[in-house]
Structure 1
Amino acid sequence: MIEFFDNEVLVLALTLGVFYLSQQVYQKLKWALFHPVLLSVGILIVILLLADVDYSLYKEHSHMIDFFLAPSVVALGVVLYEQVHHVRKNVLAILVSLFVGSFVGILSACGVAWLLGADQVLIATLAPKSVTTPIAMSVVEQIGGIPSLVAVIVIAVGILGAAIGPFILKLLNVNSRMAIGLALGASAHGIGTSKALELGALEGAVGGLAIGLMGVMTSFLVPLIYGWFI
């Protein structure tokens, strides 16, 4: 079995195959607990445990997936370019809403953790929960949090946001396509934007824009807001 995970092509085929099957399950059941990302991670963990394979070996031979993460985010720029005329008309609204979203996201995470008696390290780790993983890990490292833990938190937030975000927005009677895209991108970053793309091109475009702007705003706001709680 170790020989299987020494083959990069087989590891990539396994990973993509598991994700494809997870997508099919989610499409049929439509349950939040069976979100493709969450289900894929669970299945792969079980496979690695049963095969007694160390994660470092799997990571080494699945590096191409990490490699394509950055280009896939950049590719959102194509969708944004196609919808740029909508964005130009609402620049001020977009900037204000994302600033407020970033501020409230950081304040709520730090505030709730502080009220529940969390230590400074955990508060620092939770602060940038609503931005994409690389930015969150970099910010957390600078303020004394735990980068590996924030990576898990960010993924969990993304899955939760993508799973229940559209339902909550519908419940609140939010019908604006731009507002839906901004909400999903700002609160659930990459995974939320993926869900926004399923809803429409405009939703996906502004969701991708939200990822970048939230990253910039959060990088500036986290040290300031976190300072209130230490």
Structure 2
Amino acid sequence: MEELLRSPFFGVTLTVLAYVLGMKIQKKSGLVVCNGLVLAALMIIAVLTVFDISYEDYYVGGSMINLFLSPATVCVAVSVYAKLDVLKKNLLPVLVGCTVGAVTSVLSVWGLCRAFGLDTALTASLLPKSVTTPIASAIAEGHGGIVSITVVAVIFTGIVGNLSVPLMIRLFRVKDPVEAGLGIGACSHAMGTAKALELGETEGAMSGIAIGLCGIVTTVLALFFDFLLS
């Protein structure tokens, strides 16, 4: 039994089954709070806790799922290409919006970390929380951050964005699909983009563009992280 739990097969199978079940519950319930990704995470945590399975044993297979994260993000380029004419028409607003979004994210996190007296390592871990995991992890590691905390912050940001997108769009009366897509991608990266694709092809394409542009801008801003952390 222990050999099975420590094999890659266990982690992959548990993750896939939890995700499939979570998505089915989301589809049947139709409730925003019943988000498939959140439910899948909770089910995995429950299984590991109830059967006293260590995270290290699970991650032997679970880490294989992470290998698909970067290719899945790149696949968003398909929807971007389909809306290339929309991008050309709104190029300047897209560039300005993503730049402002990335700068606002970094400065707001930095301000809150200072206000709550967090140390340098935690601050470096949280500063890139609004960009996709591979970029955020590299930035945090390069500035003395704790990568595991960065990953958790990125995932939490994405989940919150995924859950709150419908409410935020109604609350702020966002009618333009370009505006909606850019806002989603700039704030909640890949998980938000999954919700944007549900809203429409234009929203999904613009959210995908925002992931890339905000990642580039945040990488450039990382050159000034040492100043912010001093």
Describe the superposition over 1:9-46 as per-residue Cα deviations: whole angstroms up to 9, x where unpaired.
Answer: 554333222111112222315143x3222221121122
Q: Corresponding residue for 2:111?
A: 111
Rounded to whole Å, the distance in 1 between the matches of 2:224 and 2:63 is 35
Deviation at 1:105, TM superposition (A): 0.5
Deviation, structure 1 residue 140: 0.8
Select between 72-81 and 149-158 the one with higher mean Cα deviation: 72-81
Cα-Cα RMSD:
1.8
Aligned to 2:183: 183
For residues 161-211 of structure 1, the C-alpha deviation after alignment (integer angstroms, 9 at most, x for no partner) is 111123112211111101111111110001000010111111111111111
Shift of 1:136: 0.7
Report the CA distance between 1:216 and its aligned residue. Answer: 0.8
In structure 2, do the counterparts of structure 1 residues 173 and 20 end up closer, same or farther at CA, with 3 Å as the change threshold?
same
Q: For residue 207 of structure 1, what is the aligned residue in structure 2?
A: 207
Give the AA of the match of 2:125: T
The residue aligned with 1:154 is 154
| Percent identity of paired positions between Structure 1 and Structure 2 | 35
* Structure 1 contact 162–192 (Cα < 8 Å) conserved: yes
Gap change, CA 1:170 and 1:229, over 3 Å in 2: same
Partner SS, residue 219 of structure 1: helix
- Take 1:161 and 1:209, find their aligned partners in 2: how far apart are those partners? 16
Contact kept? 2:124, 2:140, Cα under 8 Å:
yes
Is contact 1:127–1:226 with CA below 8 Å preserved after alignment? no
In structure 2, the CA distance between the partners of 1:225 and 1:67, relative to structure 1 (3 Å rule), is closer
The offset of 1:152, in angstroms, is 0.2
Distance 1:50 1:80 in 2: 43
2:146 and 2:3 mapped to 1: Cα distance? 33
Contact kept? 1:106, 1:222, Cα under 8 Å: no
Indicate the residue corresponding to 1:30 in structure 2.
Answer: 31
2:18 corresponds to: 18
Residue 91 of structure 1: aligned partner: 91
Q: 77-86 or 7-16: which moved more?
A: 7-16
CA contact (8 A) 2:11 2:59 kept: no
| 9-18 or 197-206: bigger deviation | 9-18
SS in 1 for 2:190: helix
